[in-house]
Chain A
Amino acid sequence: MPPEPSQLIAAWHSARDETAARQLIDVLYPQVIRIVRNHLPFRLDEEDLAQEVFAQFFKTLDRYDPALPLENWVTRLAMNVCLKALRSRKRRPELRWSDLSEPEQHALESLMRETDESAVKDDDVKALLHHLLETMDVKDRLVLTLLHLEEKTLKEIQAITGWSSIVIRMRAYRARGKLRKLFDDLS
């Protein structure tokens, strides 16, 4: 029977057991990659970012309180690493029609006209959304991603971000307003 994460963490704490560390990485990798994929800055390698998450994990593992769910702690850590990566990128808070590739333009027109969306490729729609999110402030991007892509509840978002539900709602409302303005100004 494979050891529990708590046992692996205890082995790491007591003796810096690298075998335990490797098993821990293996167990947590799917969760970390799922979060990284959802919040990955465009064209950044997911494995590089996941590696950064785990490096932070072992660096700060001494601060982990075993009474709290490990999954929540890992989620928060991974989110912080992703947000840091997003903040370090230069943000262009505006969007021009010429910034979009031809497939992205086609996807946008198709979604706007509510025409047959099956003619538009998923990858083009994803690229379009990434382009839009990249113009946004990191916190606005985060709240939209958690609410509308991951369909997290307010309570779940609170647990991840530490924001109050009022702050989350206000931020989401303002973020959607900014997205709408982005399109209104699109030329």
Chain B
Amino acid sequence: MAEKIDLPEVVVWDGNFAAANALRQAQVDVVSAYPITPSTPIVEGYGKFVSDGYVDGEFVMVESEHAAMSGCVGASAAGGRVATATSSQGFALMVEVLYQASGMRLPIVLCVVNRALASPLNVRGDHGDMYLGRDSGWIQFDAYNAQEAYDLTLCAFKIGEDHSVRLPVMVHQDGFITSHTAQNVYPLSDDDAYGFVGKFKEMDEMLDFTRPVTYGAQTEEDWHYEHKAKQHKALIDSRSVIDKVFEEFEKKTGRKYNRVESYMMDDAEVAIVALGTTVETARLVAKQIREEKGIKAGVVSPRVFRPFPFDDIRDALKNTKAVACFDRSSPGGALGMLYNEVSGALMTLDKMPIMTNYIYGLGGRDLTTQSITEVYEELAKNAKDGKRSGKVQQFLSLRGPKMEYFE
């Protein structure tokens, strides 16, 4: 029986330690890991909890992130509660196995501490790795601070392991800004946390010798499509379970999560759509600019990035006149992903707001309140004039001549 830790009502944890404690409290059976900056302390923390007797689990050191996720697939198929953590290049190396995990419907929890992808090599936070996982068939949650990284990791087990879902879940947090910044966190007691997540309920486990099954079969053109369609449905249908678990979590803690978070959107005419720590900065600016300049500003942010909250995001933005989508990932010759997906949702409205796309913060470049203020001012001008004043895609806080594309 694992030792318990008597936690005070409020603790000072960074995002990594918050996630490590969530793994401890969920009593994860197996963590197979190849540590990488800035997510290292998550698996390191779990490993220490195991060696100190606070978790009845196994920490498996492997030779690469590909092997780390493969180890997770094996342990999960065997029938255990499984998690790991990674970032950036490590995430990129895991990608092949991410698709295996979701295709086999294995409820692995992956804590992703977002970091830029090389080249050039960079350890700071951007959302390149998060975007890389967006077609992998995983549920993806986005935490904007350490408290949320903790809360969402606990929820991730409960949602992914639900027998009507059975999908792997990523919990994203921003590299360094969240992962390494000590903040006040209100944890659940060990008993409450484990009580909320619940005992792992096996399904189709390979260690059931009375019912031998094959995982990871090959299917060609006569079968593959049906399996992938069924998997897509599972991901889309997981929305109701996510909502149910978020409600349960609110009852337990008073902290309410929504698949789309809206801030000051009741009467907002202009809105910023963003992910990660940028959400909190944008909220600060929205409040200020309402008070100082009378601009009816708001912030909309996907809490659940996959399954993409197509209808909720449309509902949140339906009364706006101008919307800016912030993409913290190198767009690679296209418009940013948030711009494309949010525009796709707003296309189904009778009257679409004026859309703009801002690329920002690559490789950890700071996004200042000044930059966000300027964006809100441009949005307010667009809303007032009823037309776009700048180009569709613009780069924020970039040295050199202004980079912008498309009328």
Query: Does B bind A?
Result: no
Using a CB–CB cutoff of 8 Å, the interface residues on chain B facing chain A are none
